[in-house]
Structure 1
Amino acid sequence: MENMQITSQLPRSLPEEQGIPSAAISSFLKAMEEQQLGLHSFMLLRHGAVVAEGWWSPYKPELQHSLFSLSKSFTSTAIGLAVAEGLLSLEDKVVAFFPNDAPADISPNLAQMNISHLLMMGTGHTEDTMPPMMSSEDGNWVQAFLRLPVDKTPGTHFLYNTGASYMLSAILQKVSGLTLLEYLEPRLFVPLGIQHPTWGSCPRGINLGGFGLSITTEDIAAFGQLYLQQGVWNNRQLLTPEWISAATSKQISNDDGSPGAASSDWSQGYGYQFWQCQHGGFRGDGAFGQFCIVMPEQDAVVAITSGSSDMQRIMNGVWNILLPAMSTKSSVAPTGSAANAELALLLDRLSFQPGRQKEASVLEEFLTGKVFRIEDNPQQLEAVSVSFNTTEAILILQGMYGKQLIKLGRGEWIESSAQILDSSKNLIFSSFTWTAEGKLKMTLLFVETPFCLTMEVSVKDTSIVLNQQFNLSMSPEDLEAEFVGYLA
């Protein structure tokens, strides 16, 4: 690519300079906290400038956060770039790219499925294709996708289908010879100043497409701003206006006619891996509250990461508090006002507080240096030990990923790195306290993900009972578990 101008920072401005009262942003943040919606970060842009930004400590601006399905909007963007480069067209048939993986008997519906159907989640499938793809024994997800029944005519039936996004990634890799991540690096990530993005892959090295991208909050905001600016960045047209228009317009209806659908942001229509929003906006979003909300009429972008189980309530806060505050200039107080100062203080003090404790427990001496063997369990946890000193505790877990050591601060967060959630190392901020009932309570924040793990240990003579609870999970049965351990 020719002459890249790299910008890693968006311009900053006071809210009032861009026609938003600081008090409205303060109200939004307070509403999020009062409803305990679990935000990790928040950034608001108006007229191209960041007017408010905050991270709930120990989450930080420089930390990347897993986007889950917000990744899909980046996959869609790669297809838009590939169309402009003439690598493919939206009418190209999906089976045509994979002659060796297509079934011997191609159904009329599968034969008809094209790239636009993948983009709009209108493949004709009636069940999400991802679970059978991920469980395919040879790791050939493309073949698994093409062998699933296509019950409806493509383009007529909306079904949120993460396998469709994966197929877009596979097609892009087929026509470009590059992974999705490699393809987007010079064309999107470098121009926007997005540094060191990571993207998970399938067993055959194809980026997941529908999830698995990790970037920072400011990177999400820049991506939204690019779409708001009709694909122009630093006076360069990165994406065509035609693509922006098509991707962010309603391509297929997803209103199932259920009660309350009119006020749900999941039934306003779907574009090309972008959701239509109420109030004329559009968004990319991901599980547990990862958002890139674009509001063209207000010339605004909202970027949010979180660990939330109620995404609609977060969006309701945007519609009910932030949006009306951008409708008029006359009510905006001058900069340097008390409201300005209050907002700055509020943003500075955002945090997840570690559990506070009055004093150490007599059980610390008993537990230190002891190893407890855990009874057989589905999570494959084999042994646990906790040792204490004046400032911290050391938790050692022996399990499916070997021995993992986590430091926990005494009433404060301490940073560690360990393999607990999956086979890759996670950055963890942890603390511990003793509850009134004499139980050891350990809190682990996986700060590059939506997840928080709480572990509570009760001591019974020479055994322990360990209760663990995740704040969120894709499958409810993974939320809680109880382990019993005996002194080794």
Structure 2
Amino acid sequence: MRQPGHVCYALLVAGAFWLVSMPSSAAPVSLDSSTLSHLENRAGALPRTHTLMVAIHGETVIDRDYRGHRTNQTANIKSLSKTLMSAPVGEAIERGVIQGVDQPIVELLAANQIPAEADPRIREITVGHLLSMQAGLERTSGQHYGAWVASNNWVRNALSRPFVAEPGGRMLYSTGNTHLLSAALTHATGRSTLALMRDWLGAPLDIAIPPWTRDPQGIYFGGNEMGMTPQALLAFGEMYRLKGRYNGRQVLSSDWTTTSWQPRTHSFYNGDDYGYGWFRGEIENEPVYYGWGYGGQVLFVVPERAMTIVLTSDPNPPSSGSYLGQIKTLVGELIRATQ
């Protein structure tokens, strides 16, 4: 029998190896008050900022309100909703509700949601194509958005659009893609997207998920208009940073968080890669993963700095197309401050 002394020695050796093999990014980071104040002022100088939250190694180091808004108040996160929508899709795959990212979307929709006159190629569109904005259908965003949301059936309207690329081809950013996923989740589970998100995300993350806009058939809007507090967004981002874990619980599979961040296509609008609901870029030579909504609703995760950043902004038009670049400059300053 091995003696207790040998066990202690083995544990000490294992502990020493763990300390030596820890990534350098695991070292605690301390930001002095003057640096924090400067960064907070820089964020406030952006003309649209409502709130800023920054967590490093799980500790919230900035929790700042601007222009009368609060980090515990619900904000319209616009297209940042698309990033959140990726999570229940991954959980549905984990639970076997969806076979996988290669399953055709038509298999998950009700028969009356599929227009008979639609191009037969809609049967080639997979769950993964919708997540990565590679469905090939004419976009429902941009100049087509108003007509789409004014239609009497958003799902059928999206599927009836002409193909302008092949399924799996170039990125065509379209809110209709994410709404099809919301419709698929609703039909496949028999539960609303709101109920699923409250059960699969809200409860384990201890965050409130209030109701948001629904289409004429009552399906919750997949990809826009979701309301979340900045504090809730921070928890969501931290969960992804920790590969699906939060407060010691595995909320999403670690494989799904990794898969979501894998680049699958490239965005014409911001020059960054795109995975499953997440953009991927580099700032200050560090890989960053982020969700982005109109007007400056952003969630950034910087794994090598153990950092999660939430910034909410005025969601109303007009908003400059260069505004994301200004936010990235601020994120760069936050990264440099931890070097």
Tell me the TM-score normalised to structure 2 length: 0.83
Q: Aligned pair in 2 of structure 1 residues 143, 196: CA closer, same or farther (>3 Å)?
A: closer
How many Å separate the matches in 2 of 1:306 and 1:210? 18
User: Does 1:150 find its partner at 2:163?
Assistant: yes
How many Å separate the matches in 1 of 2:52 and 2:244? 23
The one of 30, 49, 52 aligned to 2:41: 30
User: Does 1:124 find its partner at 2:136?
Assistant: yes
Identity of aligned residues (%): 28
How many Å apart are 1:17 and its aligned residue?
Answer: 6.3
The one of 280, 286, 294 aligned to 1:276: 280
- Aligned equivalent of 2:293: 286
Alignment of 1:342-361 (within 5 A): none
How many Å separate the matches in 1 of 2:28 and 2:37? 16
How many Å separate the matches in 2 of 1:101 and 1:33? 46
Are the equivalent residues in 2 in contact too, given 1:109–1:124 (CA < 8 A)?
Answer: no
Q: Aligned pair in 2 of structure 1 residues 196, 121: CA closer, same or farther (>3 Å)?
A: closer
How many Å apart are 1:315 and its aligned residue?
Answer: 1.7
Higher helix share: 2
User: Does 1:322 find its partner at 2:334?
Assistant: yes
How many Å separate the matches in 1 of 2:209 and 2:280? 29
How many Å separate the matches in 1 of 2:37 and 2:58? 20
Question: Which stretches in structure 2 are left out of the alignment for 5+ residues?
Answer: 1-26
State the aligned residue count: 299
Aligned amino acid, residue 27 of structure 1: H
Are the equivalent residues in 1 in contact too, given 2:28–2:57 (CA < 8 A)?
Answer: no
The one of 89, 102, 105 aligned to 1:94: 105
Q: Aligned pair in 2 of structure 1 residues 105, 215: CA closer, same or farther (>3 Å)?
A: closer
Are the equivalent residues in 2 in contact too, given 1:128–1:159 (CA < 8 A)?
Answer: no
How many Å separate the matches in 2 of 1:269 and 1:241? 21
Deviations 1:325-381 (A, max 9, x none): 112xxxxxxxxxxxxxxxxxxxxxxxxxxxxxxxxxxxxxxxxxxxxxxxxxxxxxx
RMSD: 1.9
The one of 173, 193, 214 aligned to 1:201: 214
Alignment of 1:58-457 (within 5 A): 58-88=68-98, 89-96=100-107, 97-128=109-140, 130-136=145-151, 139-254=152-267, 256=268, 266-278=270-282, 279-307=286-314, 309=320, 310-319=323-332, 321-327=333-339
How many Å separate the matches in 1 of 2:150 and 2:44? 39
How many Å separate the matches in 1 of 2:199 and 2:31? 35
How many Å separate the matches in 1 of 2:54 and 2:111? 46
Tell me the TM-score normalised to structure 1 length: 0.58
How many Å separate the matches in 1 of 2:119 and 2:83? 29
How many Å separate the matches in 2 of 1:115 and 1:314? 31
Are the equivalent residues in 2 in contact too, given 1:109–1:151 (CA < 8 A)?
Answer: no
Higher strand share: 1
Secondary structure of residue in 1 paired with 2:217: coil
How many Å apart are 1:273 and its aligned residue?
Answer: 1.0
How many Å apart are 1:199 and its aligned residue?
Answer: 1.9
Secondary structure of residue in 1 paired with 2:335: helix
User: Does 1:54 find its partner at 2:64?
Assistant: yes
How many Å separate the matches in 2 of 1:227 and 1:132? 35
Q: Aligned pair in 2 of structure 1 residues 22, 162: CA closer, same or farther (>3 Å)?
A: same
How many Å separate the matches in 2 of 1:325 and 1:216? 26
Structure whose CA Rg is larger: 1
Are the equivalent residues in 2 in contact too, given 1:198–1:215 (CA < 8 A)?
Answer: no
Are the equivalent residues in 2 in contact too, given 1:64–1:214 (CA < 8 A)?
Answer: yes
Secondary structure of residue in 1 paired with 2:195: helix
Secondary structure of residue in 2 paired with 1:45: strand
How many Å separate the matches in 2 of 1:33 and 1:184? 32
How many Å apart are 1:21 and its aligned residue?
Answer: 3.6
Question: Which stretches in structure 1 are left out of the alignment for 5+ residues?
Answer: 1-15, 257-263, 328-488
